[in-house]
Amino acid sequence: MKMLKLPKSKLDFFAAVTQQFGEVHAPVQVQGGFVFRRLHRWSEARLDYQRTLLPPKKYFLPPQETLLRYRSTAGYEPCSEDLDRRIVLFGLHPCDIYALNLLDRVFGPPFADPYYTSRRRNIAIIGMDCMPDERCFCSSMRSDFVDRGFDLFLSDIGDDYFTLVGSARGDDMVLASGPLFSPVSPADVDQYKRRSAAKRRAFRLDVEIRDLPEIFEMEYESGIWEELGRRCLACGSCSMVCPTCYCFDVRDQVELGSRDGVRVRRWDSCLFLAHARVAGGENFRRSRAARIKMRYYHKQRGFVAQYGRPSCVGCGRCLTACPAGIAVTEVIAQLRETRHAASC
Amino acid sequence: MLPLAETARNASAHPYLPQPARIVRIYKMVPDNYLFTLRFVDPELAASFRHLPGQFVMISVPAAGEIPISIASSPSRTGVLELCVRRVGRVTGALYRLQINDLVGLRGPYGNGFPIQDMRGNDLLIVAGGLGMAPLRSLLWYALDHRDWFARIILMCGARTPRDMLFGEEMASLVDRTDITCLLTVDADPSGTWPFHKGLLPALFDHVTLDPPRTYAAVCGPPVVYRFILRRLLDLGFSKDRILMSLERRMKCGVGKCGHCLIGYKYVCVDGPIFTYWDAINLPEMI
């Protein structure tokens, strides 16, 4: 991979250059936390953020979007508004980029989702490395480093950003920046490696994931799920803030006074009561215990069977968002303990 | 043989975009169970559309929404699609208010369909209870239209009363055919005119000798049917991967994205809706 460095003092110049590749969006501080949104001034960007309230999936799978338009005269037509909007998304952390790489597989072929894939094409990603806080466990989930899914990726190595060039568009951004970027020296590479090692040492949360499928298989009937079902409020916050939760609901909205309308999709959650309800009212996951088990089972076990790894990337958002204080790290630890207790 | 390439061609470049189709016939089979015959407005699509027995389509009803419905017509009868729809909710309610010549949207076909290649050369046993014939009828007629692909074909069909039997006349017309063993039964016959078997569906097993190691069984019906028929098939020595069933789940996309039909790690829409009994007992919450 092409490696370069960018002096930290020149980041704002570079950000200005990226505007020719689309609207620049970056984390901004608002009341209650950080959010990705369009910048009015570069000085608004808070690249020292830890995690945003909502993950960047909102750019690729918006909380609500119109898929189709229906007119009684013309039938169903795709709605492609906004799909070609060019955006430069600045400052994504590795876990969030890793999550997009997982969503690529869900929304990719067969039956590629044209909305997601267009946006993925039209939105440039400039990643930025980070240091973990007490809720980060991306190193456990092996998503603390990404080798693809971005155009450029910047890592702080003191006076410079060590820059990985991940795409032809990323390379174009470098070229458009004239002399801002320069080749890396062996000393820069050493500095990058030291920085990576320091990051690995900085994690305070550790989750062993190697045997998760086995644990989930063995603990399917565990009483832990009933206990979690009593605590869970079924609010769906964990799904909304999760960078890899992709369930969506689809509804038709009819315009008043006509038979024309739109087909809209919006984020859904397997914790909601109606998620597994079928025609006639039968519900395959009526109890909250069954629903929370479904979420864990799919993230940590089902996704592994389908795509070879858990869909959790260890971003720590659900730990932060759950009003009942349910933490994925503790649930996994608890399941593991039950299993150890049984083996004694 | 059929045409997976053809099937794939049907999947339009835009996976969520329904194609307009016209209702050309509405047949009121039993109350709240109508058979809708549909033809794509685009003549090329109408002629080229191919599916596998057991697959489903997503049908859009204007100003109501979109739902999955299994295809009740055989792939060997091209030109139109037949959907057997039970009136249970908002979208099916809106569909029931439509009339001949009205337009709906269709996309698909989706799902795996029956594993015809594995089933070829074997006996075929079809067991339908209640409304279970809806997803099995495509297989029944497909097998009859490719009669030399199968050894014996045995159909068992049960309903509460003669009036409740889906495709009752059609099933009755098969009884005298020599290329199929057609056994029909009703739990009760209030009018006293039913000429076939009376009694519960599992009792039909007493009227036929099966060869389980060389038979594929396709079963569909309400939970009580599964409970008794599956027990019976296992007692007869059927291997669990020679028993096939069609499952239903809530679906919003039909193409493995929306997450609603996920069971464990299988999507009913792409990994099913046809599952072996072995799959079913190995996935939680399956039936």
A174-211 pLDDT per residue, tens: 999 999 999 999 999 999 999 999 999 999 999 888 88
**Does any domain span residue A59?**
yes
Q: Is the pLDDT of residue A339 over 80?
A: no
Domain count, chain A: 2
Beta bridge partners, A78, equal A68
Q: Is B257 on the interface with A (CB under 8 A)?
A: yes
Percent of chain A clearing pLDDT 90 (strictly above): 80
Enumerate the residues of chain B whose CB falls inside 8 A of the CB of residue A80.
Answer: none
B15-40 pLDDT per residue, tens: 999 999 999 999 999 888 999 999 99
Between the alpha carbon of residue B136 and those of residues A42, B21, B51, B225, B255, the distances in Å are 62, 23, 14, 14, 22
CB contact under 8 A, B17 and A78: yes
Q: How confident is the model at residue B7, as a pLDDT?
A: 41
Confidence label for A93 from pLDDT (cuts 50, 70 and 90): very high
CB contact under 8 A, B249 and A114: no
CB contact under 8 A, A246 and B259: yes
A24 phi/psi in degrees, rounded to 5: -90, 125
User: Does residue A216 sit in the same domain as residue A135?
Assistant: no
CA distance A130 to chain B (A): 31
User: Does residue A159 sit in the same domain as residue A241?
Assistant: no
**Does any domain span residue A207?**
no
ipTM score for this prediction: 0.90
**Does any domain span residue A109?**
yes
Q: What is the DSSP string of A237-269?
A: HHHHH-SS---EEEEEEEPTTSS-EEEEEEE--
Residue B90's nearest CA partner among B69, B61, B68 is B61
Question: Euclidean distance between the first and final Cα of chain B, in Å?
Answer: 31
Q: How confident is the model at residue B265, as a pLDDT?
A: 80
CB contact under 8 A, A248 and B259: yes
Strands B262-263 and B243-246: unpaired
User: Does residue A90 sit in the same domain as residue A170?
Assistant: yes
Q: Hey, how many other C-beta atoms are within 10 angstroms of the C-beta on A31? A: 4
Q: Which of A168, A201, A234 is the C-terminal boundary of a domain? A: A201
Over chain A, what is the mean pLDDT?
A: 93
Cis peptide upstream of residue B273 (ω within 30 degrees of 0): yes
Rounded Cα gap, residues B3 and B7, in angstroms: 6
Cis peptide upstream of residue A243 (ω within 30 degrees of 0): no
Test mutation, A118, A252, A255, A264, chain B, max B CBs within 10 A: A252
Q: Is the pLDDT of residue A326 over 60?
A: yes
Enumerate the residues of chain A whose CB falls inside 8 A of the CB of residue B285.
Answer: 276, 284-285, 290
CB contact under 8 A, B15 and A114: yes
Domains of chain B: 4-110 (2.40.30.10), 116-246 (3.40.50.80)
How many Cα atoms sit within 13 Å of A73 on the Cβ side?
1
CB contact under 8 A, A114 and B64: no
User: Does residue A155 sit in the same domain as residue A232?
Assistant: no
User: Does residue A189 sit in the same domain as residue A324?
Assistant: no
User: Does residue A155 sit in the same domain as residue A300?
Assistant: no
Q: What is the DSSP string of chain B?
A: ---HHHHHHHS-SSTT-PEEEEEEEEEEEETTEEEEEEEESSHHHHHH----TT-EEEEEETTTEEEEEEB-S-TTS-S-EEEEEE--SHHHHHHHT--TT-EEEEEEEES----HHHHTTSEEEEEEETTTHHHHHHHHHHHHHTGGG-S-EEEEEEESSGGG-TTHHHHHTTTT-SSSEEEEEES--TTS---SEES-GGGGGGG----GGGEEEEEE--HHHHHHHHHHHHHTT--GGGEEEE-----SSSSS-S-TTEETTEEHHHH-SEEEHHHHHHSTT--
| Contacts with B44 (C-beta within 8 Å, 6 or more apart), sequence order | none
Q: Yes or no: say if B93 and B67 are a contact pair by the CB < 8 Å rule.
A: no
Enumerate the residues of chain B whose CB falls inside 8 A of the CB of residue A247.
Answer: 258-260
Q: Is B88 on the interface with A (CB under 8 A)?
A: yes
Confidence label for A256 from pLDDT (cuts 50, 70 and 90): confident
User: Does residue A128 sit in the same domain as residue A160?
Assistant: yes
Rounded Cα gap, residues A35 and A304, in angstroms: 30
Q: Is B62 on the interface with A (CB under 8 A)?
A: yes
Look up the domain containing A74 and give its range: 2-201
Rounded Cα gap, residues B119 and B214, in angstroms: 9
Rounded Cα gap, residues A277 and A285, in angstroms: 8
User: Does residue A186 sit in the same domain as residue A305?
Assistant: no
Test mutation, A103, A284, A285, A297, chain B, max B CBs within 10 A: A284
CA distance B123 to chain A (A): 33
User: Does residue A184 sit in the same domain as residue A234?
Assistant: no
**Does any domain span residue A143?**
yes
Go through chain A and tell me how many residues it has. Answer: 344
Q: How confident is the model at residue B263, as a pLDDT?
A: 86
CB contact under 8 A, A111 and B255: yes
Helix (H) or strand (E) segment spanning residue A76: strand A75-78
Helix (H) or strand (E) segment spanning residue A161: strand A160-165
Tokens read off for A201: 């040492």
Q: How confident is the model at residue A342, as a pLDDT?
A: 59
Between the alpha carbon of residue A16 and those of residues A49, A147, B181, the distances in Å are 20, 25, 77
CB contact under 8 A, A252 and B65: yes
User: Does residue A189 sit in the same domain as residue A321?
Assistant: no
Q: Yes or no: say if A174 and A181 are a contact pair by the CB < 8 Å rule.
A: yes
Enumerate the residues of chain A whose CB falls inside 8 A of the CB of residue B256.
Answer: 106, 110-111
Nearest chain B residue to A74 by CA distance is B20
Q: Yes or no: say if B150 and B144 are a contact pair by the CB < 8 Å rule.
A: no
Q: Is the pLDDT of residue A344 over 80?
A: no
Q: Which of A150, A173, A201 is the C-terminal boundary of a domain? A: A201
Q: Hey, how many other C-beta atoms are within 10 angstroms of the C-beta on A305? A: 12
When mean pLDDT is compared across A67-81, A134-148, A183-197, the lowest value belongs to A67-81
**Does any domain span residue A206?**
no
Q: Is A5 helix (H, G, I), strand (E, B) or coil?
A: strand
**Does any domain span residue A296?**
yes
Q: Based on the number of CB atoms within 10 Å of its own CB, is A212 exposed (0-12), middle (13-18) or buried (19 or more)? A: buried
**Does any domain span residue A42?**
yes
Rounded Cα gap, residues A59 and A44, in angstroms: 19
CB contact under 8 A, A248 and B89: no
A272-318 pLDDT per residue, tens: 999 988 877 888 899 999 999 999 989 988 888 888 889 999 999 99
CB contact under 8 A, B257 and A265: no
**Does any domain span residue A332?**
yes
Residue B227's nearest CA partner among B190, B175, B280, B274 is B280
| Contacts with A53 (C-beta within 8 Å, 6 or more apart), sequence order | A32, A33, A34, A35, A241, A317
CB contact under 8 A, B86 and A78: no
Q: Is the pLDDT of residue A343 over 70?
A: no
User: Does residue A190 sit in the same domain as residue A235?
Assistant: no
User: Does residue A258 sit in the same domain as residue A175?
Assistant: no
Residues of chain B with pLDDT under 70: 1-12, 285-287
